[in-house]
Amino acid sequence: MNANTSRQHPAEWDQEAQLLSQTARDLPTGRHQFHKERLMAQIDEQVQQVQREEHTATTGATGMTAAAPQKARRFRLPRPAITLPAMAAALSAVVIAGVVTVGGDGSGVRDSGVATGPALTTDVGTASTKGVPQLLDQISLAAAEGDHPTVKPGQYIYIESVSADTFVKTVDDKSSLASHELHRRQIWESPDGVKGWLIDPAVNDGPEGETLSLPDEQGNTPKAHLGSPSYDYLTKLTTDPDELLAKIYKETKGQGNTPDQQAFTTIGDLLAESYPPAELYPALFEAAAKIPGVVVVDDAVDAAGRHGVAVARLDDTSGQREEWIFDKKTHVYLGARNVQVKQIKEEGILIKPGTVNFTMAIKNRAVVDGMKQTPSQAG
């Protein structure tokens, strides 16, 4: 694949997707998810680039040189593939179908080292706008009062989670919904985001994991940004909720299905696999309260089976409701999931209400003194 994909025209995407789907089976075990995640980041960059070009063509040249799009860092917590922007859907469908196809005798390479099972399902539950400001206020207060040590140079942010997802699986040209079974994920990252390590059977070649240290495999040292932040980057963000939300809208313009949904998703990603400074945590929830369409789901279950209350928003385009799950008493963040609320068809496959497209739970989040050190080892 051409590393400089941001210069490609959308008409070339299908050709590249066909080539990738033909070669996907030859990849070593465990590398499919890696390439899929990186491809999704590249698709997002392409979409933004096209929209920037369209905007320039509409408004006319300004004489100013636009900044090059920031390259997405790899190995962030995977997002469900069927929530891709519409412009990228055709390309992603070809690639995903290619990497999960196996022969009739069961031979062929799986798209990850994680076992598969039937599609994940749940009760859709009831969503209501009643009590949203009060709940977010309680969550914001709990976040401000919680223990949140500062990360020092030389230390690492450690996040342990469990996750699972539902996807379209094709066997002998017959497609159906399946899921990757619940699996453990551990990630370490330095405050500046330059050094890191990942252990995730859905991505890694072996159980020991692999480095996330930069530069990456193509020699790039991308800068941290809202879509892939380092701790140091987050310490520089404004803690004024209005200014923070305005920045999120501005920097995610053209991403996702709608500006409001993308803003909600961006904040949700910051809550999941990053470590916002103590001052920023309340601002994130106060900013979320200002996004139209935010609702409360009284009962939601994270990937670890813990029941909680969810702050959620329905994406009308995909029919999925993105949920951030919190403990009902302490209001501590537990995890997140995406639940299908409206029935849709993807690649000829019916995705019914109650399908859990993605689910995760945070098991541990801590500051440790060494790479691959866990809190229990430190204590």
The 10s digit of each residue's pLDDT in 82-141 is 333 333 333 233 233 223 333 333 322 345 678 889 999 999 999 999 999 999 999 999
Q: How far is Cα 11 from Cα 56, in angstroms, rounded to an integer?
A: 19
Pairing of strands 156-171, 196-199: unpaired
Predicted confidence at residue 35, as pLDDT, reads 40
Q: How far is Cα 333 from Cα 325, in angstroms, rounded to an integer?
A: 6
Predicted confidence at residue 327, as pLDDT, reads 97
367 strand-pairing partners: 157
Residue type for position 210: E
211 strand-pairing partners: 197
Q: How far is Cα 237 from Cα 277, in angstroms, rounded to an integer?
A: 10
Residue with tokens 């995705």: 351
Q: How far is Cα 32 from Cα 130, in angstroms, rounded to an integer?
A: 43
SS3 at position 318: coil
Q: How far is Cα 33 from Cα 49, in angstroms, rounded to an integer?
A: 24
Predicted confidence at residue 110, as pLDDT, reads 42
Q: What is the dihedral of CA 265, 266, 268, 270, to 10 degrees?
A: 160
Tokens of 194: 């330059």
Q: Which of 202, 14, 35, 21 is nearest to 101 (CA)?
A: 21
The CA-to-CA distance between both ends of the chain, in Å, stands at 45
Tokens of 265: 């998703």
Q: ω into residue 215 within 30 of 0, thus cis?
A: yes
Q: Which of 122, 132, 121, 120 is nearest to 298 (CA)?
A: 132
112 near 100, Cβ under 8 Å? no
Q: What angle do CA 67, 255, 194 make, to 5 degrees?
A: 60
Tokens of 147: 């223990």
The 10s digit of each residue's pLDDT in 252-292 is 999 999 999 999 999 999 999 999 999 999 999 999 999 99
Listed as ranges, residues in the chain with pLDDT below 70 are 1-112, 378-379
326 near 308, Cβ under 8 Å? yes
For residue 302, how many other CB atoms are within 10 A of its CB? 27
Predicted confidence at residue 27, as pLDDT, reads 35
Q: What is the dihedral of CA 226, 227, 230, 235, to 10 degrees?
A: 20
